[in-house]
Amino acid sequence: MAGQHTIPESLSGISAFVAVVQAGSFTLAAERLGVTKSAVGKSINRLEERLGVKLLRRTTRRLQLTFDGEAYFQACASALDKIAEAEAQITPYDQVLRGRVHIDMPMAFGKRVLLPLLLELAAPHPELALTMSFNDATVDLMRDEADLAIRFGQLPDSSHLVARKLASQERLICGSPGYLQAHGVPMSLSDLNGHRCIVGTTHGPPQQWTVQEGGHVMRITPPATHQLSDGESIVETALAGFGLCQMPVSLLRSHIEQGRLVPVLQAHSGVLVDVHMLWVRQATLAPRIRYVIDQLMAYAERGALG
């Protein structure tokens, strides 16, 4: 009949296919979709039969996209993301926000900057529950089931994640007045070789520092006198006079203002590091997650995360 539209048969099973790829397993995808594992498997089998190609290789240990499956997933995920954006624009929040939102954050930045803001945005919604985890390791959102992650620096290369930039911060190299009095103030990057430095670990903050010289940004490897797995401990160790550290300005500003840390090599510092918020790409975000995302973006626009 003219004017009527039917849903193409090929659309059936797309949500199951995308959910399985994002979750990495049929079992977890079924839980997220609220159906049985068998139903998910049958839905994807029917989708593959209609398309006439295999989308997934199934082994006892893992799922792997075929070449056709990778191309099809990219197209489906992009389409579902656009639908989600459209729904977010036309669908109001629930009058009562219910449920739990898990946010994973870098330790020092999370405690000092984000925690007060998250408590503030949650206060008007007593049925909104927050899980806040603090660590400086790279978290796999799909593995650890965090709804949102806040990360400094280079983003993971993943078609499964959505990222929004929150802020850019300068990196500064600092030392305590006592340390600088005992060991001297470095005047050039080469002077760092004679200094005690506090850096991160393999799965924590960077072990290299990002600097600029002659208009070029580069990474250097300072002496790893002390290695710590989180930024908060790095700052505390510098405050105690154990060496120089490089950290984003938001973690150093109050200590510099109080004279507890002194910036050095300022001609080589100031390279910006981006702060991003990430979440798993999905067709529809729960209102409680959308609320937290929108509120953090609003804080960012007002400069509260700089």
- Segment 78-103 shows an average pLDDT of 70
Greater confidence (239 vs 13) lies with: 239
Contact 238, 178 (CB under 8 A): no
Q: Please compute Rg for the chain using Cα positions.
A: 24
The count of C-alpha atoms lying within 13 angstroms of the C-alpha of 78, restricted to the half-sphere facing its C-beta, is: 6
pLDDT at 93: 55
Q: Which of 49-58, 88-97, 143-152, 167-176 has the least mean pLDDT?
A: 88-97
pLDDT at 86: 65
* pLDDT level of residue 60 (50, 70, 90 thresholds): low
* pLDDT level of residue 192 (50, 70, 90 thresholds): very high
Give me the phi and psi of 284, to 5 degrees please.
-135, 125
pLDDT at 82: 73
pLDDT at 11: 61
Domains of the chain in start order, with CATH, are 9-90 (1.10.10.10), 99-167+274-301 (3.40.190.10), 169-271 (3.40.190.290)
Contact 295, 121 (CB under 8 A): yes
Residue 90, pLDDT > 80, answer no
The count of C-alpha atoms lying within 13 angstroms of the C-alpha of 251, restricted to the half-sphere facing its C-beta, is: 26
Q: What mean pLDDT is reported for the chain?
A: 85
**Burial (CB count <10 Å: 0-12, 13-18, 19+), residue 55:** buried
Strand, coil or helix: 111: helix
Give the list of residues 6+ apart from residue 296 with CB closer than 8 angstroms, or none: 114, 117, 121, 166, 277, 305
pTM, 2 dp = 0.64
- Segment 203-210 shows an average pLDDT of 86
